[in-house]
Amino acid sequence: MIGVIGYGAYVPKNRIRTSEIARVWGKDPRNAEKGLGVSEKSVPSIDEDTITIATAAAKCALKRAGIDPKEMGAIYIGSESHPYVVKPSGTVVAAAIGCEGELRCADYEFACKAGTAAIQNVMGLIEGGYIKYGLAIGADTSQGAPGDALEYATSAGGAAFILSKKNKDSIATIEETLSYTTDTPDFWRREHEYYPQHGGRFTGEPAYFKHVGTATKMMIEKMSLKPEDVDYVVFHMPNAKFPVNMAKKLGFSKEQVTQSLVVTEMGNAYSGSSVLGLTAVLDVAKPGDKILMTSYGSGAGSDSFYITVNDAIENKRDMCPKTWDMIHNKRYIDYATYTKYRRKILMR
Amino acid sequence: MKKVAVIGVGMTRFGELWNSSLRSLTIEAGIKALSDAGVPGERVDALYTGCMSGDMFVKQGHIASLIADYGGLLPVPSTRVESACASGGLALRQGLMAIASGFANIVVVGGVEKMTDALGSQTTGYLASAADQEWESFNGATFPSLYALMARRHMYEYGTTEEQLSLIAVKNHHNGSLNPNAHFQFEVSLERVMNSTLVADPLRLFHCSPVSDGAACVVLASEEKAKEISDDPIWIIGSGQASGAIGIYDRDDICTIDATVNAGKSAYKMAGVTPKDIDFAEVHDCFTIAEIIDIEDLGFFKKGEGGKAVEEGITSLDGELPINSSGGLKAKGHPVGATGVAQVVEVVTQLRGKAGKRQIKDAEIGLTQNIGGSGGTAVVHIFSR
């Protein structure tokens, strides 16, 4: 059985309100906010990117894990916005947190579920006896074209998890994981393109709901679960409506999903989305609580996890800033500043 | 001219049918219609398919051949008919003329559109090709804006209200909630309609028909064949088609669609009936203002009184003249090429007394009216038991 011995989150401090974006594009601000259920989103500063976000989250995870960084056997970072197309993010993070040396390392790009794919692969290496500790990170500075529906929610943030075989230091146990994978292209970005394209309403039923719903149902069946057996539900959050509707469709209450619903005040950090929902839950969960998390990546599918919270959570969670506290620690910027920070203005 | 009957009908569900293609939709509706008629494919003499923009929505041209081929009907003569949103109604008229003239005895008429594979912005552009590109669309006019101009003028001239525009949506959603093939099978409150997102002032989201996938199909037969094959043939007693100015800028009065008036006159004349004889109708409510204009232009109500008619419940399912018992384009959905044929499916189903929860009592004579664009084409048909 695999345990989580440390976790960390990072959310940049800048926020732009949905209504401010709507103002610029001549849309009704009330409709923009109501339609998505997102009031504001996080924006990375000019000096923040997937590597800095991953590093910040990894430092927290290391602190909570309390292990010697040299013992880290693997680092995998999942993102749709690795700063370089060629030149890895993982090695920079490894150097920054003191894990260089004997280390397995790779960057993953697997739509918005690259972070949970990283968790699954670290689990495999530990189960196989190849490594003792492994670090899996999901982080993004997500892209949305100016004026596109995506722009209202695409944000920045990330979460990191250090895994090992389950022991007394485990704050949580991953009881089971499984994936549901199909080739369903609802969202894509080709090489040399700045912004993704998407299939509009196709991204709902046949894409998000089919995959998140199927993977979650597979987990419910495999673990013989009833909705009331689960304390917290975490879904990928392209907006606030999809995860809430998904929960409803599967028989869960809004209360079961609310703690993880970080999207409402920080937007969708792509590979960082569902994993930040998980860190928000770990920040408050009690030992014995059960967590059901299902990620989603467009054209990639869904990974589902069934997690039990352990006693060690009580001593570790206050060591680092909590997810919702980071979301509430903010400063508002206007659209002009946003375009500068997101490098949407061409400068010589 | 030979008498012609509808002896079989079939349609797919309308909606966002992500797992269905243009060809699979058409074939599904075709098989249902032929099974309903009890006619084997080899007895079909000709095929007419209404499809507005397969070339744009799914990049498929040569639809006539595709449908004959995948329908397993080779080497049947097959023709694709295009006249924007009136493609389906016009395909029916082609089928009717083929039999009436003696060229064919049994004809299958289909209508189809696969719209949801395109992005919203593309869809708006493709549909705008049914307006006058040079004088309207290229200058930024879209269909919601053209119909919004008509609505605004109708409000100015006749005192038609936003509430009346909204009551059409409430009524048609109610009817759609009773139709298992409808895109939207739910009721909407007046408040919800009137508070929905503004699309083109005064038209709101719930005043507009949706973008839908779907297909509908009917089997037509000559009098001789109909009597041989069918126990309950529904006769096409009137048919009218007319053209009007393609752009609304070129019309004397934008509160009326001349093509509807003229097609209606032809159909009434051929059928030997007057508007008073019509028991119920399926009309082209691509926007709710269109239903008001349609029921006036067809002579059911005086010009300017269409809004009041819905307010007074005359056009409700249990009213004196039920309009759009299927849910109309608003709630049943509007896969543009399929719409004109789906209207016929509804009228035939009603006249056969098989409309279930939305059955209109004592329906003897029904009418369909199908518009292309903002009124550049109109097709009207009248049916009786």
The interaxial angle of helices B87-100 and B336-351, nearest 10 deg, is: 60
Q: Are residues A163 and A176 in the same domain?
A: no
Instruction: Decide if B16 touches A, using CB distance below 8 A.
Output: yes
pLDDT of residue A345: 85
In this predicted structure, the answer to whether residue A28 has a pLDDT above a threshold of 80 is: yes
- B139 Cβ neighbours under 8 A, 6+ residues apart: none
Task: Flag whether residue B157 sits within 8 Å of chain A, measured between CB atoms.
Answer: no
Whether B201 and chain A come into contact, CB under 8 Å, resolves to no
Is the model's pLDDT at B120 over the cut of 90?
no
pLDDT per position as a tens digit, B38-63: 999 999 999 999 999 999 999 999 99
| Contact (Cβ atoms closer than 8 angstroms) between residue A161 and residue A4 | yes
A251: domain CATH number? 3.40.47.10
Q: Is B120 on the interface with A (CB under 8 A)?
A: yes
**Contact in structure between A207 and A267 (CB atoms under 8 Å):** no
Residue A220 lies in a domain: yes
The pLDDT score that the predictor gives to residue B119 is 86
Q: What is the mean pLDDT of chain B?
A: 97
Spatial separation of the C-alpha atoms in residues A207 and A186, rounded to whole Å: 6
Beta bridge partners of B8: B219
Rounded to an integer, the average pLDDT of B1-16 is 97
> B18 and A202: CB-CB below 8 Å?
yes
Tell me which of A82-91, A186-195, B286-295 is least confident: A186-195
Q: Is residue A320 part of a domain?
A: no
Q: B17, B117, B119: which to substitute to probe chain A, counting the most A Cβ within 10 Å?
A: B119
Q: Per the structure block, which two tokens stand in for B103?
A: 């060229």
pLDDT > 70: percent of chain A: 100
The pLDDT mean for chain A works out to 96
Question: Same domain, yes or no, for A49 and A135?
Answer: yes
B16 and A28 within 8 Å at the Cβ level: the answer is: no
Q: Within a domain: residue A182?
A: yes
In this complex, which of A28, A31, A201 lies closest to B16 when CB atoms are compared?
A: A201
Give the CA angle between residues A51, A54, A56 to the nearest 5°.
Answer: 110
Same domain, A52 and A177: no
State in Å, rounded, how far the first CA of chain A is from the last one: 54
How far are the Cα atoms of A124, B25, B85, B305, B325 from residue B161, in angstroms, in the given order?
Answer: 66, 38, 26, 11, 23
A80 is a catalytic site residue: yes
Q: Given CA atoms B93, B97, B99, B104 in this order, what sign does their dihedral have?
A: negative
CA distances from A346 to A21, A24, A342, B289, B329 (A): 19, 18, 11, 46, 46
* Rounded Cα gap, residues A56 and A171, in angstroms: 20
Cβ A8 vs Cβ A278: under 8 Å: no
Task: Give the strand pairing for A2-10 and A172-180.
Answer: antiparallel
Q: Give A81-134 as a DSSP string.
A: --S-SSS-SHHHHHHHTT--SS-EEEEE-BTBTHHHHHHHHHHHHHHTTS-SEE
Question: Domains in chain A: how many in total?
Answer: 2
Lowest pLDDT segment from A30-34, A207-211, B77-81, B313-317? A30-34
The answer to whether B4-118+211-234 and B120-210+238-384 have equal CATH topology is yes
Q: What is the pLDDT of residue A161?
A: 98
Which 3 state secondary structure label does DSSP give B35?
Answer: helix
Q: Per-residue DSSP letters for A141-209?
A: E----TTSGGGGTB-EEEEEEEEEE--TT-SEEEEEEEEE-----SEE--TT-SS-EE-GGGGIIIIII
Considering the domain architecture, whether residues A56 and A70 belong to the same structural domain is answered as yes
Please tell me whether residues A51 and A145 are part of one structural domain: yes
φ, ψ dihedrals at B37, nearest 5°: -80, -25
Instruction: Provide the pLDDT for residue A200.
Output: 84
Provide φ and ψ at B120, rounded to 5°: -55, -45
Is there a domain that residue A319 lies in? no
Is any Cβ of chain A less than 8 angstroms from the Cβ of B87?
no
Question: In the predicted model, is pLDDT for residue A32 greater than 90?
Answer: no
| Chain B residue nearest residue A29, CA to CA | B197
Question: In this structure, what token pair is assigned to residue B29?
Answer: 């509706």
Residue whose tokens read 């909590």: A322
Q: How close B115 comes to chain A (CA, Å)?
A: 12
DSSP, residue by residue, B129-189: TTS-TTTTGGGT--HHHHHHHHHHHHHHHH---HHHHHHHHHHHHHHHTT-TT-S--S---
> Smallest CA–CA separation between A234 and chain B, in Å?
27
If you count residue pairs, one on A and one on B, with CB atoms under 8 Å apart, how many are there?
15
A120 and A255, same domain (yes or no): no
**A33, A148, A201: best to mutate for the B interface, most B CBs within 10 A:** A201
A347 has pLDDT over 80: no
Helix (H, G, I), strand (E, B) or coil at B105: coil
Instruction: Specify the amino acid at residue B277.
Output: D
- In a domain, residue A348? The reply is no
Fold of B120-210+238-384: Peroxisomal Thiolase; Chain A, domain 1 (3.40.47)
Query: Does residue A323 lie in a domain region?
Result: no
A200:B119 CB<8 A = yes
Q: How far apart are alpha carbons B171 and B148 in whole angstroms?
A: 20
Residues B317, B323 contacting (CB under 8 angstroms): no
**Nearest chain A residue to B17, by CA:** A206
Same domain, A62 and A197: no
The CATH superfamily holding the domain B4-118+211-234 is Thiolase/Chalcone synthase (3.40.47.10)
Q: Torsions phi, psi of B214, nearest 5?
A: 165, 165
For chain B, which residues make up each domain, given as ranges? 4-118+211-234, 120-210+238-384
Interface of B with A in 51-80 (CB under 8 A): none
Residue in A79, A75, A222, A225 with CA at minimum distance from that of residue A140: A79
- Out of B18, B120, B197, name the one closest to residue A31 (CB): B197
Average pLDDT for A176-196: 94
C-alpha neighbours within 13 Å on the C-beta side of residue B18:
14
Q: What percent of chain A has pLDDT over 90?
A: 93
Torsion of CA A37, A40, A46, A51, to 10 degrees: -40
- The Cα-based distances of A267 to A129, A195, B303 in angstroms read 38, 17, 51
**A205 and A230 within one domain:** yes
Residues B339-358: what's their mean pLDDT? 98
Indicate the pairing of strand A197-198 with strand A331-332. unpaired
The CB density around residue A327, as the number of other CB atoms within 10 Å, is: 21
CB atoms < 10 A from the CB of A179, how many?
Answer: 18
Distance, CA of A191 to CA of B27 (rounded, Å): 39
Which positions in chain A have a beta carbon within 8 angstroms of at least one beta carbon in chain B? 28, 31, 199-202, 205-206
- Predicted TM-score (pTM) of this structure: 0.88
- Cβ–Cβ under 8 Å, residues B14 and B333: yes
* pLDDT beyond 80 at A59: yes
Contact B220, B106 (CB under 8 A): yes
CB atoms within 10 A of CB A248: 12
Token pair for residue B232? 């309950």
What tokens appear for A294 in the block?
């299902």
Q: Please provide the size of chain A in residues.
A: 348
pLDDT at B177 over 80: yes
User: Which residues of chain B make contact with A200, given a CB cutoff of 8 A?
Assistant: 119-120
The pair of structure tokens assigned to B196 is 């929905």
B246, two tokens: 């393609």
Mean of pLDDT values over B108-115: 98
Q: What is the pLDDT of residue A199?
A: 87
pLDDT digit string, tens, across residues B227-268: 999 999 999 999 999 999 999 999 999 999 999 999 999 999
How high is the ipTM of this complex?
A: 0.76
Do the Cβ atoms of A201 and B197 come within 8 Å? no
Q: Scan for tokens 């199908």, then name that residue.
A: B370
If asked whether residues A182 and A277 sit together in one domain, one would say yes
**Is residue B86 within 8 Å of residue B378, measured between CB atoms?**
yes
Q: Name residue B217's beta-bridge partners.
A: B10, B110
Percentage of residues in chain B with pLDDT exceeding 70? 100
Same domain, A33 and A119: yes
Task: Domain of residue A268: give its range.
Answer: 172-314
In this structure, chain B runs to a length of 385
What is the spatial distance between Cα B310 and Cα B322, in angstroms, rounded to a whole number?
10
